[in-house]
Structure 1
């Protein structure tokens, strides 16, 4: 071993490094050229893509000898205004008005989509903006003892996937949502995701998108995605005088959201969404039937009602949180602090095997720190299950523009729970809303 060392103080090290630098610089003075080559990329340009949604509309109605109506061939909506192919855009929203409605009247519409330049996830949204009584004449008063309009509950509506049959008609596929007009519009206010392959059971995340096209028309004909949406309505002949003078107004909306770098879960129909993963380890319990997924809790503030929706998006293992064949005791109680004062005021509940008066939905109030048996939903409240989504409609008079919410989806101990609260580590408190999620319009 050589014990000789080379010692450099910091000053000596700096001097040494400086000497190396001088030598290097001196060596460069005598060099006349290096081998070199240059490649230049000129006029570089990045251009943003585009996404432009055209909705092609074919609508007709049948009021017997009183009236028939159809939209003009080539009618479409772009930028929220109506146009006719080959004509100048009229510049007004598409508005269909039906007067002198009677039992037996019906209508149907087809909506097809040109998504120009980019494939996209599609959503269908809507809102029931009025359901008016408009006074009561003598025949109506004999059949109708309840305040408020009855037409939205009397009209039967079905929204389905459909495709062109090649002969000017449609092949109707899976039903997307059906029921009374009030029930269908409740679901649409919560937002209904559409599947590009027409599968009503497609999962929310990563469902098939709608293909894009280069132009909305080809040789004067709509250039559309294969899947369209068909809408039918009817006032059944069983309806009697209770709808006299009543009227309803409602809106439909379609959203296209690019599918690139997107999983399709963003809901453009609602004001706010909270995502919560299923919990398979709550309190360290061993589960007989665990499964993974997320619950999407959304709030939509409407003109007359606030809609709370809970979409359960399961993984692909074949076990579904809301399926009573997988979990016989699955349920979803939702505690609401309607005025955000720190105490939950009432619960709305979905529990399919509980035998509630409005099965599978119930309602119960917090009466000084306790909840009694579930009752029917109060007047003006509404509830529905659409696929894997539970929807509650609350009259704006019964809930503030700021409120708190606690959801506690449970599978009765067989599988996971789905807590919707601010602190996932804290268990459910159906009385104190301190750990509930706050929403504000």
Structure 2
């Protein structure tokens, strides 16, 4: 690896679950069969429970929690503790986890470990998965990794409705690495109701491929839409972004932004509660194939003419990297 000036940077790693708009047994369901949020080898099968995640820094979300990984020449180690739980209305569930890919040179220089920890004392217990490189770590989670709902017991247990499962994600940057690369990855945790499953079949359906394999560029973005939260507004002068082929670089956005949509080829990729600043047509969010001008399975039902139904939205047509405001939604 070429030596370059070491500078402080952040990797934004979205640690997420299926949100309220996902498939939730016992709480209502919807078709979510083309979720390509994870590694290139995984899609998310229907029939999963919504898990809640709280970070050590105090953030709590139904959809995703940001983890700031600060790297510098003097500090190449870090960690973040996670607490997983079920909504009060859910039944006990088997826990599964997987990860997206880290698609740059950092993947070969970042060692990652996910461990069980005691929720009260914070004492480490056993390792869930680890790798001397990120790609090795991702390979352990490819296709979905079964996670014990109660590591204190013998055998695999379900996560109880009133219980917490505590994990710690730790990372170390190799001494040989020096440079600055903007990137990130996403861990996702989902659950299967124990009363309906034996916990042997992963909800993440493997379709071949793994991190570290050449994926190639995705299809170019044809239009992008920004949707506000219900009752909120968006204005074009509050957004700053650039589009480069298959990638949206979100430079600045108001706190009212709730959903980012990327249209490419015959598919729509939906990023709910977006975190980070880089959105690609090849990874993250949930994907939906078009049927004419509509995208069956999206909630609320989205279409090319109405990408943000019921909320404020801004839609931009993209041609040769240039964005043209096509629909001002309710911000006009």
State TM-score, norm by structure 2: 0.44
Q: Based on CA coordinates, which of the two structures has the bigger radius of gyration?
A: 1
The structure with the greater share of residues assigned to strand is 2
Taking CA–CA contacts closer than 8 Å with sequence separation of 6 or more, which of the two structures ends up with the larger relative contact order?
2
The structure with the greater share of residues assigned to helix is 1
